[in-house]
A and B are shown apart, each in its own frame.
Chain A
Amino acid sequence: QKEVEQDPGPLSVPEGAIVSLNCTYSNSAFQYFMWYRQYSRKGPELLMYTYSSGNKEDGRFTAQVDKSSKYISLFIRDSQPSDSATYLCAMSGYNSGAGSYQLTFGKGTKLSVIP
C-alpha cells in the first residue's frame, strides 16, 4: 500500500462548480498536511497547510483533515478557469531515521475548469 494515494484524474468541471479533491494516507505519523497547486510547466506552489483535524478556510478554498479516517480533502467553491492546474496533496511527519521532517506527496490530480 502506498503511503499517500491520490486519484490522478483528469477532472473536468464547468465554471462555478464546487470541486472536491481528496487524498488518503496510511502513515499515522503524518501530522502536517498541505495542498500544492502546480500550473503547467511551473513549480508547485503552497496553497494551504494545516496541522490538526478539522477545516481551514481561505477564500474559495477549504482544506479538511480527518485523521481518524486518514483522509484529507480540498474544496474549491465557485471554481474559475484560472483554477485549472494539477493539485498535489503532501504530508509530513518527523522521520527519526533521517533526523528531519520530510514531505510525502500524492501524485496529483489534474483539474480543468471549463468556461
Chain B
Amino acid sequence: NAGVTQTPKFQVLKTGQSMTLQCAQDMNHNSMYWYRQDPGMGLRLIYYSASEGTTDKGEVPNGYNVSRLNKREFSLRLESAAPSQTSVYFCASRSTSGALWAQYFGPGTRLTVL
C-alpha cells in the first residue's frame, strides 16, 4: 500500500515549456486534490476532483489544467510554464472511511521555472 505517489520528484522548466505532474492513490479514495505550497503562503488549492469524472477549480487555478484519468489517477498540467509557478506541488486524496474529512498527501514535486 503505497498511499499517494507523485512523479516526478523534481523538475526544472524554461518559461513557456509544458509539463504534466502525475498523481496516483491506491486507497480507493473518491476525492483527489492538487495544492501548491509557497513560503509564507501556506498550502493553496489549485484544483480538486470530488469523484471520478468531475473536476473543479480551487483557490489558484489560473495557468493549470487537470485530468481525472480514473479513480486512482489525477494529473496536473502546466501548458505554458511561468516563473510564478515555481513551487512545491502536492497531490492529496480524501479518506472514505474513518476520518472522512482528512486528506492524505503525496511526497510532492519540486518545480523550478527559469
Alpha-carbon distance A5/B40, docked complex (angstroms): 12
Question: Does B105 have its Cβ within 8 Å of any Cβ on chain A?
Answer: yes
- Which residues of chain B from 22 to 59 have a CB within 8 Å of any chain A CB? 31, 40-43, 45, 48, 50, 56
Given the contacts A101-B100, A102-B45, A105-B43, A42 and B94 also touching, CB distance less than 8 Å: no
Number of A-B contacts (CB under 8 A): 56
Alpha-carbon distance A42/B50, docked complex (angstroms): 25
Contact among B4, B103, B108 with A103 in the assembled complex (CB-CB below 8 Å): B103
Interface size class of B (residues with CB under 8 A): 20 to 34
Chain A residues lying within 8 Å of B103, measured Cβ to Cβ, are 46, 90, 103
Given the contacts A100-B31, A101-B94, A107-B42, A46 and B104 also touching, CB distance less than 8 Å: yes
Given the contacts A43-B105, A49-B102, A100 and B43 also touching, CB distance less than 8 Å: no
Please determine whether A92 and B101 come into contact, CB atoms closer than 8 angstroms: yes
Question: Does B106 have its Cβ within 8 Å of any Cβ on chain A?
Answer: yes
Q: Is the interface of A mostly helix, strand, loop or mixed?
A: strand
28 contacts between A and B (CB under 8 A): A8-B40, A32-B102, A34-B99, A34-B101, A41-B108, A41-B110, A42-B107, A42-B108, A43-B4, A43-B90, A43-B106, A43-B108, A44-B43, A44-B90, A45-B105, A46-B102, A46-B103, A88-B43, A92-B101, A92-B102, A100-B50, A101-B94, A101-B100, A102-B48, A105-B42, A105-B43, A107-B42, A108-B42
Q: Which residues from chain B sit less than 8 Å from chain A, CB to CB?
A: 4, 31, 40-43, 45, 48, 50, 56, 90, 94, 99-108, 110
